[in-house]
Structure 1
Amino acid sequence: MVHEWKRDRQGNPKRRKQIGPRHPRFHLLLPTARRSFDRVDLKLLKQAAIFQDLDEGEAARVAEVCREHEFAVGQHVFKEGEPGNRLFIISQGEVRISRTIPGSGEEALAVLKPGACFGEMAIFDRSERSTDAIANTSCTLITISRSDFELLLDFNRDIAYKVLWSVVRLLSARLRVTNDNLRSFLAMSMF
C-alpha cells in the first residue's frame, strides 16, 4: 500500500488515503513503475517549453499522465472565464488563442502550431482562463489535468525542479516581451 496525498486549503500536502496496485494513480506514486504509453510522442512532449529540460525517463513519467483529445474546426478547447484545470500541448493541427472584445468581436492573439503548450499558467495559479482557445483546424491535443500534474510534481522532485525552472524562464521571457510592447505603445502615444 502507498499513501495518496492531496493539498489542504493552505496548499500544504496531506495524506488522503491508502491506495493499492489496482488504483488508477498507483503507478504515479512508485518511482520504479513502468507503463506503456504508445499514444504520446515523447519528442513532441519535450518540444513544449515547460518540458524541454526533461530527460527521456522523466518525459516518460510525464507521458503517463497525458491524455489525448480531438477537437473539430471551430470547437472551443476552453472559454474565457472557465476554471483552468488542465494544460494542453498541440500534437496535430492549430489552435487559435483569442479574446472577445465588446463591440468588435473576436481578436486573434496567436495561432499555435504542433509542439506548442498553452493553458499552463492556470495550472500553477489556479486562475480562470483569460482567453478563448479555439481549434483553428481539426486538431489533436495532449492534455494533463491539474490534479495529475500536481501529483506528478509532488512525487517526482527532479521533474518538479526542472519544470518549475522552465516556467520561470517562460514567465521571464513573456514579461520581457510585455515590457517591450508597453514601451513601444507608450512611445507611439507620445506622437
Structure 2
Amino acid sequence: MSSASSAIAAPASVPEGAQVATLAAGCFWGTEHVYRKHFGGGKGLIDARVGFIGGDAENPTYRLVCTGKTGHAEAAQIIFDPTKVSYRSLLEFFYRMHDPTTLNRQGPDQGTPYRSAIFFHGPEQEAVAKEVTDLANKNWWGGKIVTDVLPAGKWYNAEEYHQLYLDKNPAGYECPSHFVRDFPPLP
C-alpha cells in the first residue's frame, strides 16, 4: 500500500443491517484494540478500522496528521450488529474507556489528533450521542467532558500497518488513559 490513505465514506464492507460508529478517543491503536477486545467474539463487533476524520486535508497520511496541521482526529470506525450491541452501549463504553475531560489530549499524546470526539452518522446517532454525553457528563465526569459531537465527514483509512497494530505488536505503545473505568450504569 502506498503511504497515502484511501478516502472512503465508511469501512469497505458494511454488511446489510450493520451500522457504523466513528469514535476518536486519542491514539487510534488503543481505541480499536479495546473495542475489539470487549465487543468481538460474537458480542456485536463485526469489524473495525483506524483512520482519520474531521480535518481538511485530502488523503492525509499518519505523519501529516501527527503534525496537528490537518485538523484530523485519529479515530476508529466500528462496524457493529445493532441486534447484538446498541449504539448507546458503544458510546457508554466510549466514556468508560478514555478520559473525555482533557482537551486535545489523552495521556502523553497531545494535539488535535488526540481529541475526544463522536462523529455521528445521521440524526438518530446524533440524538443518542448528545444524550449519552450529557448523562456521562452529569453522572461520571463531574461536568468536565470536552468531547466534540459532530457529523461524520470524509473518512480516510490509516495506512495498512496501523490496522490491528496492537494485535501485530503486542508490546506496542498503548495510551495509559485507555482502560475501562468501573462506573455505575447510566440512567
Relative to the length of structure 2, the TM-score reads: 0.26
More relative contact order, 1 or 2 (CA 8 Å, 6+ apart): 2
Q: Which has the higher strand share?
A: 1
Greater Rg, structure 1 or structure 2?
1
Q: Which has the higher helix share?
A: 1
Relative to the length of structure 1, the TM-score reads: 0.26
